[in-house]
């Protein structure tokens, strides 16, 4: 018998070999979803109606994004050529990094922040320059400014940021853009609707500013995967070369106009979350749980050494929350998404009983 032929699989790029697979803790989420900062209830009923009317024939066509891009551009107040729709903001980040980052470049970002910046950057040949926030997790403006070098190519700022819900001011963001004219300043406004402040009005005026928004949060369309990237035409031209023309599917495109039209529903949901956040923060304060001030639809809380047990106890009580302990500077911290007032009221008994167990005031049930 001939010797077994030694097979060797083709090797990926060295950078990819060094990457870890990122698995967000989804799975078995049949509970109150206070773990992924989604809309916890539903999208607009007008979107549901449109989805129900999509014909089988319509699905046979490739999606055409331009007409919908024009509608979205008008809605956010930019020119159609300044805006690209993407398969979630994740694709916007991925494509932006692929477009601009090469060997020797630096991606500058404050940490802790949204995980996918590091994931996509680590697949490029750029270096990640992470500026650690202080213990209050406030925006580390001065230190970011000081970390800008001639190699800085992208500065990625989530505003509000996750997991703390902290914000940068307009002046701070503009100062970064001005100090690094050779770099793209990405302002990721995923949680814009809960914060109410934006740099979208400066798109096209500030030559290196790019703004991202998602439809996964306030609009409640995380399952459809819809985001947008808006920037000067000169930058967006390069982005479009890398972006797939079909990455936003036709169901998502059909749902965007009714989602944008139903401002009443959006305003209701955002108002509900902001009221619920205030109520829930008051409960945390009475319970003696340290929390970080948030301008988004989540609150970061200090649980301490028993964070894993707390998350498990909450889950057993029907409430999913997100352990952020492994984020830089976040040991013992847990992030809780804010839903409607009614949902947050349902979460309160789970919070109290889980705290009582980890504080040794009550036995496990």
Q: Which residues bind ligand PMP (CB under 6 A)?
A: 37, 88-90, 114, 158, 162, 188, 190, 214, 216, 222, 227
Question: Nearest-CB residue to ligand PMP?
Answer: 88
- The string of DSSP codes covering 43-55 is --HHHHHHHHT--
227 vs 232, beta carbon nearer ligand PMP: 227
CB of 287 to ligand PMP, least distance (A): 26
User: In whole angstroms, what is the distance from residue 270 CA to residue 71 CA?
Assistant: 22
CB of 128 to ligand PMP, least distance (A): 16
Listed in sequence order, the residues at least 6 apart from 198 whose beta carbon sits closer than 8 Å to its beta carbon are 189, 192, 211
User: In whole angstroms, what is the distance from residue 124 CA to residue 106 CA?
Assistant: 10
**Could you tell me the CA-to-CA distances from 324 to 31, 89, 201 in Å, in that order?**
19, 21, 33
User: In whole angstroms, what is the distance from residue 304 CA to residue 6 CA?
Assistant: 51
CB of 218 to ligand PMP, least distance (A): 11
105 vs 188, beta carbon nearer ligand PMP: 188
CB of 192 to ligand PMP, least distance (A): 10
114 vs 141, beta carbon nearer ligand PMP: 114
CB of 110 to ligand PMP, least distance (A): 12
109 vs 190, beta carbon nearer ligand PMP: 190
Beta strands in the chain (DSSP E): 32-33, 83-86, 106-111, 127-132, 152-158, 184-188, 209-214, 227-230, 298-302, 319-320, 322-323, 333-337
158 vs 266, beta carbon nearer ligand PMP: 158
């Amino acid at each position: 018998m001939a010797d077994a032929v030694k097979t060797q699989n083709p090797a990926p790029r060295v950078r990819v070999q060094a990457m870890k697979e990122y698995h967000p803790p989804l799975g078995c989420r049949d509970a109150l979803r206070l773990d992924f900062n989604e809309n916890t209830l539903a999208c607009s009923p007008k979107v549901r109606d449109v989805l129900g009317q999509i014909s089988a024939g319509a699905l046979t066509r490739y999606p055409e994004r331009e007409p919908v891009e024009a509608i979205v551009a008008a809605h956010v107040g930019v020119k159609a050529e300044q805006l690209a729709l993407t398969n979630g903001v994740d694709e916007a980040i991925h494509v932006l990094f692929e477009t601009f980052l090469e060997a020797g470049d630096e991606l500058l970002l404050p940490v802790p922040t949204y995980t996918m910046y590091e994931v996509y950057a680590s697949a490029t040949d750029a270096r990640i320059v992470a500026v650690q926030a202080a213990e209050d997790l406030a925006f580390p403006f001065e230190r970011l400014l000081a970390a800008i070098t001639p190699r800085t190519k992208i500065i990625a700022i989530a505003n509000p940021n996750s997991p703390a819900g902290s914000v940068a001011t307009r002046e701070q963001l503009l100062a970064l853009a001005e100090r690094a004219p050779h770099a793209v300043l990405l302002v990721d406004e995923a949680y814009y609707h809960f914060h109410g402040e934006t740099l979208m009005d400066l798109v096209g005026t500030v030559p290196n500013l790019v703004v991202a928004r998602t439809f996964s949060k306030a609009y409640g369309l995380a399952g459809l995967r819809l985001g947008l990237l808006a920037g000067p035409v000169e930058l967006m031209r390069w982005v479009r070369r890398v972006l797939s023309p079909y990455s936003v599917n036709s169901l998502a495109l059909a749902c965007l106009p009714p989602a944008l039209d139903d401002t009443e529903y959006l305003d209701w949901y955002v108002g509900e979350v902001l009221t619920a956040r205030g109520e829930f923060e008051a409960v945390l304060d009475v319970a003696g749980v340290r929390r970080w001030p948030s301008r988004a639809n989540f609150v970061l809380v200090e649980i301490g050494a028993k964070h894993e047990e707390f998350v498990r106890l909450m889950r057993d009580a029907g409430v999913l929350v997100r352990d952020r302990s492994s984020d830089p500077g976040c040991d013992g911290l847990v992030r809780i998404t804010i839903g409607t007032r009614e949902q947050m009221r349902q979460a309160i008994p789970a919070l109290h009983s889980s705290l009582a167990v980890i504080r040794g005031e009550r036995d496990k049930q």
